[in-house]
């Protein structure tokens, strides 16, 4: 009998075949070659199959391969928990461990920990505790969950099905009860649009902006959708105090569809500008809604290379602050739009 990861008789799984007791092994030469090839692809070597009634499969690693993999395993199990002991309290969040955001959360507890700490202070200073936070492009829930205790409610939007599923899992893990997730995208019109993943290794970087993609997902006009699904917000019974929009270049479309809501509630609004042309289109839509002040969220050393940045922080320490800017900067940055100066 051959045993693999799943031991249901008669089943096949990658690299293995399970034989029922008393069943005659009838795998042909092609099946044997396929099994061997699959096992080799996993980094193992296998012994051959016998054509008799019993066959044994063995997987082996060289001493060097075993030593490297085992050392890596032990180091990760020691280093990661030790590195988290000095961190401030953070919510339980499940991640994709090979994803850029996931790796950051594993090491730091939450993603963009310092920026979130700064935003908490800003919200406290502006007295936003009784307002609503709209998280547009909620990803796996990092910002919604981390900032949930700074607001009365959080309303999040994430259309990417596997990412939205992880978001809902994280609401359960973190026991966060004041967050509602809508599994749609927001835009300038109701539509079913192609959705593309932009970056390998960043599962939350999907976007409607390119107009290409293998899946089609729902996008809804922001003002009309809120009127239908969040009537208390639309009626201003629940004021919006803060909006975070991280939709990978689709920001201008989102703001166009939310123009009435933004003009009426006048929330502080944070958005990413990864490419200046897209950032300028987004800022133009915000100005049409009445926004008149643009600020850049600055960090120590952010105007230099990564090496210069780290050197400055080691010498000067770390600071995060808002700096008013006359226009969208050329470089990549997190921008904050407001009605009048924030500081």
Question: Model confidence at 42, in pLDDT bands (50, 70, 90)?
Answer: low
Residue 12 has pLDDT above 80, yes or no: no
Of the candidate ranges 12-21, 72-81, 271-280, 328-337, the one whose mean pLDDT is the lowest = 12-21
Residue range 291-341, pLDDT digits in tens: 999 999 999 999 889 899 999 999 999 999 999 999 999 999 999 999 999
What domains can you pick out in the chain, each with its CATH number? 12-60 (no CATH), 100-338 (3.40.50.150)
Question: Model confidence at 265, in pLDDT bands (50, 70, 90)?
Answer: very high
Is 181:164 a contact under the CB 8 Å cutoff? Answer: yes
Is 249:275 a contact under the CB 8 Å cutoff? Answer: yes
- Provide the pLDDT for residue 20: 42
Contacts of 92 (CB under 8 A, 6+ apart): 170, 173, 174
d(CA 128, CA 147): 11
Residue range 167-218, pLDDT digits in tens: 999 999 999 999 999 999 999 999 999 998 766 656 666 889 888 888 999 9
Q: What angle do CA 116, 113, 101 make, to 5 degrees?
A: 110
Q: Please report which residue ranges of 127-241 form alpha helices under DSSP H.
A: 142-146, 161-174, 222-229, 231-234
Residue range 109-128, pLDDT digits in tens: 899 999 999 999 999 999 99
Residue 134 has pLDDT above 90, yes or no: yes
């Amino acid at each position: 009998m051959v045993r693999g990861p799943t031991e249901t008789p008669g089943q096949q799984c990658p690299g293995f075949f399970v034989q029922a007791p008393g069943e005659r092994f009838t795998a042909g030469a092609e099946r044997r070659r396929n099994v061997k090839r699959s096992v080799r692809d996993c980094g193992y070597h296998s012994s051959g199959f016998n054509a008799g009634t019993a066959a044994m499969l063995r997987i082996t690693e060289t001493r060097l391969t075993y030593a490297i993999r085992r050392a890596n395993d032990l180091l990760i199990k020691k280093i990661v928990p030790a590195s988290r002991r000095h961190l401030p309290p953070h919510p339980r969040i499940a991640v994709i461990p090979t994803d850029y955001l996931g790796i950051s959360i594993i090491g730091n507890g939450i993603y963009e920990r310092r920026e979130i700490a700064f935003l908490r202070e800003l919200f406290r200073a502006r007295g936003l505790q009784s307002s609503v936070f709209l998280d547009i492009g909620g990803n796996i829930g990092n910002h919604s969950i981390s900032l949930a205790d700074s607001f009365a409610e959080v309303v999040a939007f994430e259309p990417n099905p596997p990412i939205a599923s992880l978001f809902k899992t994280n609401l359960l893990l973190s026991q966060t009860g004041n967050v509602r997730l809508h599994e749609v995208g927001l835009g300038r019109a109701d539509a079913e649009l192609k959705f593309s993943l932009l970056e390998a290794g960043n599962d939350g970087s999907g976007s409607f902006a390119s107009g290409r993609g293998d899946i089609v997902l729902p996008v809804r006009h922001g003002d009309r959708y809120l009127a239908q699904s969040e009537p208390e917000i639309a009626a201003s019974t629940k004021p919006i105090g803060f909006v975070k929009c991280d939709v990978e270049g689709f920001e201008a479309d989102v703001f166009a569809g939310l123009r009435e809501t933004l003009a009426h509630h006048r929330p502080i609004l944070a958005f990413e500008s990864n490419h200046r042309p897209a950032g300028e289109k987004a800022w133009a839509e915000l100005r049409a809604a009445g926004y008149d002040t643009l600020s850049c969220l600055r960090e120590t050393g952010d105007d230099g290379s990564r090496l210069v940045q780290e050197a400055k922080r080691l010498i000067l320490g770390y600071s995060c602050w808002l700096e008013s800017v006359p226009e969208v900067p050329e470089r990549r940055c997190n921008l904050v739009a407001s009605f009048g100066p924030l500081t």
